[in-house]
Amino acid sequence: MSDFAIRQAVFTTSAGLGSAYPATAPSGVEIAMVGKSNVGKSSLINSLCNNYKLARTSASPGKTRLINFFLINQDFYLVDLPGYGFAKAPKGERENWGKLMEDYLSAGRLTHIFMLLDIRHEPTQEDRQMFQYIVYYNIPFTLIATKADKLSRSKRVQAANAAAKLLGAPPAAIPYSAENAQGRDEVLARMGAIRDDHVALRTTIQPQEILEEIQ
């Protein structure tokens, strides 16, 4: 596999509850980012894409209520899912968030999901619930521990893996800092591998499907 790089990232569209999703990406790959409000999803996306105006960041947790699609290298989607755990939101909005997420996760579009955790804190109940969604829908995942620069370098890997273990997942997470780009190369490599593996699998399966249709 060649080294993966994001050469182009373009905002495509937003989808709300009941909205249509965009057409499937050329490669068929769709990687989503999910995490609690203010965990740093937008900052991570901007850091990965080296474009700090691409995904809007907000100081108000829970402000984003839409699913935002970004087309990467005119090839696959990187998807910013709305944050959870916004306690000040009205009950109706929280219920709509749950429905929005369930509709998307069950749509069969997702290739992989990056779940973000704050490296400084234990996973919340909402984090655990989100992880159970991921397990229930059988979505492959990678855990990323954000805001790694807030801890000393010697403690980052241990804290990231501890957060994953407390979540109930295998004790492995990628420490990431949008401030100094720690973890960027590792996450990009993971994205490239996800993309290549999916395309290779689709190439292998399609000829068999065609043969079955002929028979």
What is this structure's pTM? Answer: 0.89
121 class by beta-carbon count within 10 Å (0-12 exposed, 13-18 middle, 19+ buried)? middle
Q: Locate tokens 């370098």: which residue?
A: 153
Q: Please name which of 187, 190, 189 lies closest in space to residue 40, comparing C-alpha atoms.
A: 187
Q: Please name which of 111, 10, 97, 20 lies closest in space to residue 55, comparing C-alpha atoms.
A: 10
> What pLDDT band is residue 25 in, cutting at 50, 70 and 90?
very high
Quick one: average pLDDT of 1-11? 85
Cα separations in angstroms, 40 against 17, 34, 36, 144: 23, 10, 9, 11
Q: Domain locations in the chain?
A: 9-214
CATH class of 9-214: alpha beta
Q: What is the pLDDT of residue 91?
A: 75
- Condensed to tens digits (0 to 9), the pLDDT of residues 143-190 reads 999 999 999 999 999 999 999 999 999 999 999 999 999 999 999 999
Share of the chain above pLDDT 90, in %: 74
Quick one: average pLDDT of 115-137? 95
Asked if residue 60 has pLDDT above 50, the reply is no
Q: Please name which of 85, 148, 82, 78 lies closest in space to residue 114, comparing C-alpha atoms.
A: 78
* Higher local confidence (pLDDT), 18 or 142: 142
